[in-house]
Amino acid sequence: MVAGSLAYGVVTIGVGVAPVYPLAAGLMVLVGVCGALMAPATMALVTDLVEPEARGAAMGLFNVFGSLGFLTGFLVGGGATGAFGYTPAFLAVGGLELAVAVALLPAVRAIAPDDSLIGRIGADG
């Protein structure tokens, strides 16, 4: 999920800096693919972290916070576009995605099994 979030942020920035429309359009498709690939893994993590009797409530909260995240993205992106233009808006929103992924890496590492790729990141140093 961290790698997916990093890819999502990089591709979002790529849309904003793409020099031609066909490239931007292709990157927009890739943004959708990154989001679609992250959703099932994130939902699986939510259900794995809670007791079986709390899974419905946990998934409900996941959906609430996901919707708030999308709303925040639209508001930040729209505000940045109005104030600074398209390229800075894509840089801001993609940069926020990268920042969230990096900030949450320690929490994800803490719950990842030691034999997973995420569990090994930084374990040697």
Q: Is 93 exposed, middle or buried (0-12, 13-18, 19+ CB in 10 A)?
A: buried
Residue 37 lies in a domain: no
Residue 122: predicted pLDDT: 52
* Full domain range(s) for residue 75: 1-14+62-119
Contact 12, 31 (CB under 8 A): yes
Assess whether pLDDT exceeds 60 at residue 124.
no
- Give the number of domains in the chain: 1
Q: Confirm whether 21 is domain-assigned.
A: no
List phi, psi (to 5°) of 86: -70, -50
Question: In angstroms, how far is the first alpha carbon of the chain from the final one?
Answer: 22
Asked whether residue 30 is assigned to any structural domain, the reply reads: no
Place of tokens 């920035």: 13
Whether 56 is in a domain gets the answer no
Residue 69 forms part of a structural domain:
yes
Mean pLDDT over each residue of the chain, to the nearest integer? 86
Overall average pLDDT of the 76-85 stretch: 91
Indicate if the pLDDT at residue 2 is higher than 70.
yes
Q: Does residue 35 lie within any of the structural domains?
A: no
Tell which residue, 102, 108, 82, 119, has the closest CA to residue 8: 102
Mean pLDDT value of segment 13-19: 94
**Interacting residues of 47 by C-beta distance below 8 A, sequence separation 6+:** 55, 58, 59
- Give the pLDDT band of residue 125 (cuts 50, 70, 90): very low
Cβ atoms of residues 93 and 77 within 8 Å: yes
95 domain residue, yes or no: yes
User: Residue 80 falls within a domain, yes or no?
Assistant: yes
